[in-house]
Amino acid sequence: MKTIIQFNGTLFGSTGAILKNIANGLSAEFRFYDVTPDSTSEHGFCLTGSYLGRQWQKVLCQINGSDGFHSKLTTKSLLRWLDEIKPDLFHFHNIHGYYCNLPLLVGYAVSHKIPIVYTLHDAWTFTGRCGYFDVAHCDKWLFGCGHCPAKWQYPKARLFDTSAKQWKLKREILTGKGITFIAPSEWLARFAKQSYLVDEDIRVINNGIDTGIFNADGDSYKFGEGMDDKKIILSVAYPFGPNKGLNDLNALQGKIDTSKYQIVAVGVTNEDKTVPGIRRIAPTKDKSLLASLYRRADAFAFFTHQDNYPTVLLEALSCGCPVITYDVGGCGEIVEDGRTGYLIKENDIDGALKALDKIDSIDRKTCREEGQNHSIPAFVEEYRKLYEEKLK
């Protein structure tokens, strides 16, 4: 049985779920190990050792924005562990996250003739340091970064700007090594093909969701408290900051007819500021709870300003909930305007209001059928075929 090592910045959240879905779906055919800074699984390696260890790595990386190029000692300890495991394939997810050293990992793979699959969950792999360049309206990544306009965007560079150096290092490390790059969306693949990865093997595999949970067949959430007669506008994100549309949701609250509509925001914490009137629900890992909320909602509002291929849109559709979203990133590949929801221009709150007035015209059955097309087994099968190809 071939051994596959998956690397990611976390075991949790959307990227952590993708890592687990692949491992669970293909466990009968491959032996999987995960390498993360918070690994607690039986078949895992924790690169930071402790919470304090990771915080220290974070400080070092943020001094000059060199995430992915520090952590030499911990990565060398990983390499000694890999000598014992004898892996057959590396699958990189998010290498950024203040936990490992990219040059050492790629160098090990090349010297041991280990093929690499690299899933791009954002643009960090082909920029000088940032995960998303569209919010800053920056195109320096096309030619070589420097004088970064988004130093404070994750992963942060608090003191020095080394984005030009990082861009050159990544280009040297990641090109010409036979790596297969996977983009979850055509949107991200298009940018990757414009970058220094232009001559590399770049493919698209859309993310999948658990259609056994996210469907229209279960119970709908019961709010009570005088909300039974109101139309529910649901929004889900974590972390629920400005880039995920918290300020936009606040703006919408100031314009809606509150006797008719109720906004519900899932994923907000005490640090997240919402205006009065918005119903807050804390972050949750309970998929059944989320599915019941999607079923109850009359519209799913997703005002993201930067996203790759957001699975929350698939989850909402699979439960039969129409979507209103900004047409950014890969959102337009999921939502068909006028058929499964409405795509509106970024920052267009008035456009969101107009979409709400038309939301009842969207057929919930059509939404469900579209969402159900993106199951985890179909997604995992694409990776199974890719693994077999790379391991030949």
**Over the stretch 256-265, which tens digit does the pLDDT of each residue have?**
999 999 999 9
Q: E strands of the chain, at which residues?
A: 2-7, 30-36, 44-46, 89-92, 116-119, 180-183, 201-204, 231-236, 261-266, 279-281, 299-302, 323-326, 341-344
Whether residue 213 lies inside any domain: the answer is no
The per-residue pLDDT for range 212-252, each reduced to its tens digit, is 999 999 999 999 888 888 999 999 998 898 989 999 999 99
Whether residue 309 lies inside any domain: the answer is yes
Whether residue 225 lies inside any domain: the answer is no
What count of other Cβ atoms lies within 10 Å of the Cβ of residue 137? 8
Whether residue 223 lies inside any domain: the answer is no
Q: Ramachandran region of residue 155, left (φ > 0), alpha (ψ -120 to 50) or beta?
A: beta
Could you tell me if 29 and 84 lie in one domain? Answer: yes
Average the pLDDT over 174-192 and give the result.
Answer: 98
Rounded to two decimals, the pTM is: 0.92
Q: Is the pLDDT of residue 6 over 80?
A: yes
CATH of residue 347's domain is 3.40.50.2000
Distance CA(282)–CA(269), nearest Å, equals 6
Amino acid in position 80: R
Q: Is the pLDDT of residue 177 over 80?
A: yes
Evaluate whether 355 touches 255 at the Cβ level (below 8 Å).
no
Q: Which of 336, 340, 322, 330 is nearest to 306 (CA)?
A: 330
Could you tell me if 39 and 182 lie in one domain? Answer: yes
Whether residue 33 lies inside any domain: the answer is yes
pLDDT band for position 314 (cuts 50, 70, 90): very high
pLDDT band for position 32 (cuts 50, 70, 90): very high
Element (H, E) at 164: helix 163-174
pLDDT the model gives residue 135 = 77
Element (H, E) at 301: strand 299-302
Sheet (strand 279-281) strand order: 279-281, 261-266, 231-236, 299-302, 323-326, 341-344
Q: What angle do CA 68, 25, 239 make, to 5 degrees?
A: 45
Q: State the burial class of residue 99 (Cβ atoms within 10 Å of its Cβ: 0-12, 13-18, 19+).
A: buried
Could you tell me if 326 and 380 lie in one domain? Answer: no
- DSSP 3-state of 137: coil
Average the pLDDT over 13-32 and give the result.
Answer: 93
pLDDT band for position 51 (cuts 50, 70, 90): confident
Average the pLDDT over 322-350 and give the result.
Answer: 97
Could you tell me if 343 and 382 lie in one domain? Answer: no
Instruction: State phi, psi for 236 to the nearest 5 degrees.
Output: -130, 130
pLDDT band for position 10 (cuts 50, 70, 90): confident
Q: Is the pLDDT of residue 61 over 90?
A: no
Rank 41-45, 221-225, 358-362 by mean pLDDT and report only the highest. 358-362
Average the pLDDT over 138-146 and give the result.
Answer: 94
pLDDT the model gives residue 52 = 80
β-strands 180-183, 116-119 pairing: parallel
| Average pLDDT value over all residues in the chain | 94
Could you tell me if 27 and 50 lie in one domain? Answer: yes
- DSSP 3-state of 247: helix
The boundaries of the domain holding residue 346 are 231-372
Amino acid in position 73: L
Q: What is the DSSP string of 268-293?
A: --TTS---TTPEEE-----HHHHHHH
Whether residue 35 lies inside any domain: the answer is yes
pLDDT band for position 41 (cuts 50, 70, 90): confident
Which of the pair, 144 or 152, is modelled with greater confidence? Answer: 144
Instruction: State phi, psi for 337 to the nearest 5 degrees.
Output: -60, 125
Could you tell me if 24 and 162 lie in one domain? Answer: yes
Q: Is the pLDDT of residue 49 over 90?
A: no
Q: Is the pLDDT of residue 369 over 90?
A: yes
Whether residue 222 lies inside any domain: the answer is no
pLDDT the model gives residue 192 = 98
Whether residue 220 lies inside any domain: the answer is no
Distance CA(303)–CA(242), nearest Å, equals 9
pLDDT band for position 150 (cuts 50, 70, 90): confident
- What is the tally of structural domains in the chain? 2
Could you tell me if 199 and 239 lie in one domain? Answer: no
Q: Is the pLDDT of residue 137 over 90?
A: no
Could you tell me if 60 and 150 lie in one domain? Answer: yes
Q: Is the pLDDT of residue 84 over 90?
A: yes
Could you tell me if 243 and 114 lie in one domain? Answer: no
Q: Ramachandran region of residue 285, left (φ > 0), alpha (ψ -120 to 50) or beta?
A: alpha
Could you tell me if 146 and 10 lie in one domain? Answer: yes
264, β-bridge pairs: 234, 279
Evaluate whether 310 touches 329 at the Cβ level (below 8 Å).
yes
Q: Is the pLDDT of residue 102 over 80?
A: yes
Could you tell me if 134 and 274 lie in one domain? Answer: no
Which of the pair, 270 or 382, is modelled with greater confidence? Answer: 382
pLDDT the model gives residue 325 = 98
Could you tell me if 383 and 337 lie in one domain? Answer: no
- The DSSP output letter for 5 is E
